[in-house]
Structure 1
Amino acid sequence: MERKLEKLQNSLPPVEVVVVALGRPLLVGVYQNRRLIHQWEEEGLTSELLPKIFKEILKKYSLQALYYARGPGSYMGVKLSYLYLKTLQIVFQIPFKGVDGFYFTGGAPIKGPGKSVFVKKEGIIFLTRGEAYGEFKLPVQLEPEIFSQETEPLYILNPV
């Protein structure tokens, strides 16, 4: 079975995939030669959307690397995307890298719990009151050097 999967994957065009599951909509981008060639912007449950989207991707492409937004944002979205992508990394033995979500908002605040937002100033991420936040966008050109080996979810919790 493993050889069949490997043979099938090797015959398909090689791509890298980026996942942003920190809010709505869920964003998934397919990159070939570091250029965005296809993207999904889907509303719904991350737990239902990721398998559906990756089923399509795996039919057409050979995964070469996975990248994702590790937080802050939706705790459930971060957790589910991490577990799903980590599983794919193990199965396909490919690189898996992460970056904080501010890369996908151009540095703008990210929606937090209730009426709060996550802000990043001088490399420090904190939670503050506010309702204005940025929109997530996939880059047209993938920059793998921006991502790091650190993939564990980035949870920023409310002070008690």
Structure 2
Amino acid sequence: MQKPLVDIVAVVISKPMLIGVYKNSQLSETIQKEGMTSDVLPEVFDELLKKYEINSISYSKGPGSFMAIKLAYVFFKTLSITRNIRLFAQDGFYFNGNTPIKAVGNSYFVKKEGIITLKKDETPGTFHLPKRLELNEMSEDVEPLYILKAV
């Protein structure tokens, strides 16, 4: 039996991690998973690969947790190469309505007029998966978006 062809969106900078399964560009399944990125991604994608034929993966490339972004990039890039899956990315602001994203301490990443800066004591937004996946809104520039130097 042939597996359904789907596209995947992964918001790896949110807690819990959000993963959406899209059939014909429509969100058909939402997975919310707590835990470390290094544990969650292999577990979730093991199940997804058993169940579906994955056409593309789009992920949140930052800003946010450097470790989560780095792990996600390596994981998705490996899947892209070994399974011939198209890989796309978008900055995290796409997935939270352009609201502040938690950085370190009481600092937050803020995007204004296309420029990302750090601000103190902001109110972070909530991440969400788009109801409809528009691949033309995703970028083929999939390298992680580091605003500060990784430590």
Same fold (TM over 0.5): yes
Give the letter for the 2:114 counterpart.
G
Whichever structure has more helix as a proportion of its residues is 1
Provide the residue aligned with 2:6 in structure 1.
15
Cα displacement (A) at 1:23: 2.9
Judge conservation of contact 2:33–2:40 (CA < 8 Å) in 1: yes
Provide the residue aligned with 1:80 in structure 2.
71
Runs of 4+ in 1 over 3 A off after TM superposition: none
Judge conservation of contact 1:97–1:149 (CA < 8 Å) in 2: yes
Give the letter for the 2:41 counterpart.
L
Q: How high is the TM-score relative to the length of structure 1? A: 0.90
Identity value in percent: 48
Rounded to whole Å, the distance in 1 between the matches of 2:23 and 2:103 is 33
Pairing partner for 2:27 from 36, 42, 58 = 36
Q: Which runs of 5+ in 1 are unaligned?
A: 1-7
- Structure 2 counterparts to residues 11-160 of structure 1, below 5 A: 11-157=2-148
Cα displacement (A) at 1:128: 1.2
Cα displacement (A) at 1:131: 3.8
Rounded to whole Å, the distance in 2 between the matches of 1:140 and 1:154 is 24
Rounded to whole Å, the distance in 1 between the matches of 2:55 and 2:111 is 31
- Decide which structure has the larger Cα Rg and report it: 1
SS at 1:113 equivalent:
coil
Rounded to whole Å, the distance in 2 between the matches of 1:28 and 1:142 is 12
**How many residue pairs end up in the alignment?**
149
Rounded to whole Å, the distance in 2 between the matches of 1:130 and 1:80 is 28
Judge conservation of contact 1:98–1:149 (CA < 8 Å) in 2: yes
Rounded to whole Å, the distance in 1 between the matches of 2:135 and 2:75 is 20
SS at 2:144 equivalent:
coil
Q: How high is the TM-score relative to the length of structure 2? A: 0.95
Q: Which runs of 5+ in 2 are unaligned?
A: none
Over aligned residues, Cα RMSD in angstroms? Answer: 1.2
